[in-house]
Amino acid sequence: MSTMWPAPHGTRCDFCMAEAPLCLDIAPAARIVAELTDSRLYIDNEDWGACAECAALIADSRWLELLDRGIIGVMAFWNTPNTSENYRDYRAKLSFTLQGVFGSQWPDELCLW
């Protein structure tokens, strides 16, 4: 997903950061660049790989669950304190990014907070 991501493409789920194996590759509908609260730059420039759990949520269009799973996984991966401020920031950025990945499939209401 990202050149700034520490793991090479295909070694971790791009949605929740779970370790491979991955079982689904998705070519994003659009490419996103976003800056996180701590100034890490998030660059989406490759296909997105999904673990089995995320792939199942995607297959069933369970977008809110996919978003929550992603927020929790990414915050844990980065050892981000689970404060309401951090959660809101990750939620906003991840939802914006996933809208780029899924295009019109992504519910507009998940981009509002």
What whole-number distance in Å separates Cα of residue 74 and Cα of residue 59?
21
Q: Which is nearer to Zn ion, 32 or 57 (by Cβ)?
A: 57
CB of 74 to Zn ion, least distance (A): 10
Closest distance of CB 39 from Zn ion, Å: 25
Residues that bind Zn ion (CB under 5 A): 13, 15-16, 18, 51, 54
Q: What are 24's strand-pairing partners?
A: 50
Give the DSSP letter of residue 37: T
Residue 14 is classified by DSSP as: T
What span, in angstroms and rounded, lies between the C-alpha atoms of 34 and 57? 24
**What is the closest distance, in whole angstroms, from the C-beta atom of residue 71 to Zn ion in the complex?**
12
Q: Closer CB to Zn ion, residue 19 or residue 35?
A: 19
